[in-house]
A and B are shown apart, each in its own frame.
Chain A
Amino acid sequence: QSVLTQPPSASGTPGQRVTISCSGSSSKIGVDTINWYQQVPGTAPKLLIYSNNQRPSGVPDRFSGSKSGTSASLAISGLQSEDEADYYCAAWDDSLNGNWVFGGGTKLTVL
């Protein structure tokens, strides 16, 4: 069971704004930053947001991230058909040996 919990699915219509949540089960997650990845089926993940709210070069500003306490959110505005993908949150967990943990993923469907 992941220490990061995401809803298994989300949906929206073109042009709509959707949000995907990611909640941490440990107070440790609350002090670490959250990254978000987008994965189109059959392809490698792509870094979408890092350090809670920073976009790598080339990521459209339709994508935004936020974090409060032990929860984080990814927002996608002006939803487009090509946004249909799986989305994963991730954080560093210092417990045990220390490791990157991923949420279970959220499948976004554009209706």
Chain B
Amino acid sequence: QVQLVQSGAEVKKPGSSVKVSCKASGDTFSGYGISWVRQAPGQGLEWMGGIIPIFGTANYAQKFQGRVTIIADRSMTTAYMEMNSLTSEDTAVYYCARSHPPYCSGGRCHGFDFWGQGTLVTVSS
């Protein structure tokens, strides 16, 4: 059974950075895309970007381009999302999610079939 296990909750100061990890187990890691989706308190879902570890190149939603970096460590079967210049508006639960089928990109993917448990990032002075 596929599992995505994320790192724990974070409290950050405005202007700082945060790095969240997502470790995959139970299935081949490299060929499946991993995306990051966030959810502000009481709000809906927002896609931030994604990566297919075997290819190594990430793509980002325009809103997050330049402020978010997504990488994947294939040997550790772990993906990371780092966001800098945090503000209070970045307070949210951050999820990693796996695309299916393997090697798909963009609209050729059939959605996100497995999700991490979520990581709460609180930005407060």
User: Which A residues form the contact surface with B (CB < 8 A)?
Assistant: 2, 32-33, 35, 37, 39, 44-47, 50-51, 54, 56, 88, 90-92, 94, 96-105
Q: How many A-B residue pairs have CB under 8 A?
A: 66
A105 to chain B, nearest CB (A): 5
**B81-103, CB < 8 A from A:** 95, 97
User: Which B residues form the contact surface with A (CB < 8 A)?
Assistant: 35, 37, 44-47, 59-62, 65, 95, 97, 106-107, 109-113, 115-118
- Note all chain A residues with C-beta closer than 8 A to B59: 97-98
A111 to chain B, nearest CB (A): 22
Partner of A45, one of B45, B60, B107: B45
- Note all chain B residues with C-beta closer than 8 A to A45: 37, 45, 95, 97, 112, 115
- Note all chain A residues with C-beta closer than 8 A to B46: 102
Whether A94 contacts B111 by the Cβ 8 Å rule is no
